[in-house]
């Protein structure tokens, strides 16, 4: 299995997403393509089984199963909002214990999820992911540098989540908080990358530096 695939193009991803969500028949998924390509930039396989935590509708986990170098993807979330057309496995959990055996997966992902988790529960969630995933945890999320970034990100979340019935409450982490949270859960941030998510005036209001992708590796590896 290859550790890295070629660039994921927007048109191919749109065709995949549109099979499950009608919104993407007319909306090109530039943001989602950039996100998946950022994951590929940091990918260190081989990973046979991948768990996507906080999968929402499940369409990103479905796309990861089709475009990332992994054999099997499963998505889990607190609420069952999964599209009925998915071919991947899905599951719900109670917010505390993931319904999987120790080391059941080779790696895991959290895509724009952790900022919606209560602050006091974040390290516990990462520890639980570390229990069920033997390898790296790939995180796509946001990073704030000050109060204005918090306002920007709150508006971005509102725009991005309302169409899908996603969670709106959020509290965003700084770089130092990311490092501290990872360490508390027994991870180290082994790599980070950013990408160009927006252009023009939109990029001035919501600079791409707000978006961050990281690969966390267990400290005992």
What is the mean predicted confidence (pLDDT) over 178-195?
A: 96
- Could you check whether the bond before residue 46 is cis, i.e. omega within 30 degrees of 0? yes
- The answer to which of 75-79, 97-101, 141-145, 161-165 has the lowest mean pLDDT is 161-165
Rounded to the nearest integer, the mean pLDDT of the chain is 90
* Nearby residues of 180 by Cβ (< 8 Å), 6 or more positions away: none
At 201, the pLDDT band (50, 70, 90 cuts) reads confident
Tokens of 67: 């475009």
Give the pLDDT confidence score for residue 42 in this predicted structure.
Answer: 96
Tokens of 38: 């950022």
Domains of the chain, earliest start first: 10-218 (3.40.50.150)
3-state secondary structure of 193: strand
Strand pairing class (89-92; 107-111): unpaired
Q: What is the pLDDT of residues 25-76, one digit of tens each?
A: 999 999 999 999 999 999 998 999 999 999 999 999 999 999 999 999 999 9
Most confident of 6-15, 67-76, 191-200: 67-76
Strand pairing class (70-77; 89-92): parallel
At 186, the pLDDT band (50, 70, 90 cuts) reads very high
Give the pLDDT confidence score for residue 152 in this predicted structure.
Answer: 76
Q: What is the pLDDT of residues 146-160, one digit of tens each?
A: 777 777 777 776 666
At 125, the pLDDT band (50, 70, 90 cuts) reads very high
């Amino acid at each position: 299995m290859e550790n890295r695939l070629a660039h994921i193009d927007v048109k191919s991803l749109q065709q995949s997403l549109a099979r499950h969500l009608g919104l993407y028949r007319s909306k090109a998924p530039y943001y989602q393509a950039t996100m998946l390509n950022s994951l590929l930039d940091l990918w260190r396989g081989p990973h046979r089984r991948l768990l996507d935590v906080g999968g929402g509708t499940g369409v990103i986990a479905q796309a990861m199963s089709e475009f990332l170098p992994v054999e099997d993807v499963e998505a889990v979330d607190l609420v069952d909002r999964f599209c009925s057309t998915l071919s991947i496995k899905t599951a719900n959990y109670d917010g505390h214990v993931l319904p999987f055996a120790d080391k059941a997966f080779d790696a895991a992902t959290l895509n724009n999820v952790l900022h919606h988790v209560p602050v006091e529960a974040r390290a516990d969630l990462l520890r639980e992911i570390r229990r069920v995933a033997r390898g790296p945890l790939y995180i796509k999320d946001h990073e704030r540098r000050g109060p204005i970034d918090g306002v920007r990100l709150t508006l971005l979340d509102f725009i991005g989540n309302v169409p899908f019935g996603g969670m709106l409450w959020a509290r965003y982490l700084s770089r130092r908080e990311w490092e501290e949270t990872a360490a508390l859960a027994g991870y180290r941030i082994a790599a980070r990358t950013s990408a160009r998510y927006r252009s023009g005036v939109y990029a001035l209001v919501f600079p791409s530096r707000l978006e961050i992708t990281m690969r966390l590796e267990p400290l005992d590896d």
